[in-house]
Amino acid sequence: MIQIKRAALLTLFISAALFSYGQDYHSQFRTLAEKKDTAGQYSLLKKWETAKPKDPEMFIGWYNYYVHKSMNEFVSLEKTQKDDQSLELHDTGTGKTVGYMNDNIRYAEKYLSKGFAYIDKGIQLYPDRLDMRFGKIYILGQSENFPGFAKCIKEAIGRSAAIKNKWMWEEGNALVDPEKYFLDAIQGYQMTLYNSGNEQLPLMREVAETTLKYYPNHVESLSDIAITYLIGGDYDKALPFLLKAEHIDPKDPIVLNNIAEAYSRKKDNTNAIIYYQKMIKYGTPDDKAYAEDKIKKMK
């Protein structure tokens, strides 16, 4: 049971409510977005850009407009269930599940690139607006542009360190507890990479390494790097990161579990049992039951 420290995932939806808009145009744009009046949105945004060419909310408005325009929904037959809205298909003879009908979104590059051009201009002018950066990162992940996704995350990490986490959010408002908010979001993005298959593990490691460059005691990133090595079967490289994470937070049951797992895969049952026992001591009831079962099987 290899795990990643799960932080609260940052949930961003590209909609009229994703960003707030410039005070003069806010209500107009929201009304048009709710009505799905794309022609009206385009006309308003052109006027907005002429009147306030450096308004940060205007760049966000254009970004949302083009992201929406790029989105094409379709249904596909897949082996795995995407979410609880998926339609489960059964074999008429055996009754066994044979697949799922999942809703998906395809992004048209010609429109998406225009949206990115606007949000990039906004980020260039207002580099400390985290909502702009996270809005871009979210869609890069949703469109499965994982190299771009990881690149933008690493750029945000470097900027966060440079400004000492003094991020601004929509309409220039300061974030409350910005360092925690930022690092929790980064961990959520790591989950996106982790859940996207082993081919994304190198990118996951790059993001963790960048985080540790500026936040050397970030337990979740130490664990993330270790997991990329554990999955690759390089247990001796994983353990130093995990043992450092334990030194920082000796009661973290996920770290303790991953240390036990590393020793178990090395066939070092003595040390594996020691760490499963620590997991029993500090973990939840579910952690305790899992660790007890692992120890029982080893013995």
User: In the CATH hierarchy, which fold is given to the domain comprising 216-299?
Assistant: 1.25.40
In DSSP terms, which residues pair with 77 in a beta bridge?
101
User: Of 143, 154, 111, 123, which is closest to residue 19 (Cα–Cα)?
Assistant: 123
Category of 75 on φ-ψ map: left (φ > 0), alpha (ψ -120 to 50) or beta: beta
- Helix or strand (DSSP H, E) at 77: strand 71-78
Neighbours of 76 (CB within 10 A): 12
Gap between the Cα atoms of 143 and 5, Å rounded: 24
What are the pLDDT tens digits along the chain (299 aa)?
445 443 333 333 334 334 444 447 877 888 898 898 999 999 999 999 999 999 999 999 999 999 999 998 756 565 666 666 656 666 666 767 756 566 678 899 999 999 999 999 999 999 999 999 999 999 999 999 999 999 999 999 999 999 999 999 988 889 889 999 999 999 999 999 999 999 999 999 999 999 999 999 999 999 999 999 999 999 999 999 999 999 999 999 999 999 999 999 999 999 999 999 999 999 999 999 999 999 999 87
Instruction: Give start-end residues of each CATH 1.25.40.10 domain in the chain.
Output: 216-299
The stretches of 126-164 forming alpha helices (DSSP H) are 130-142, 146-162
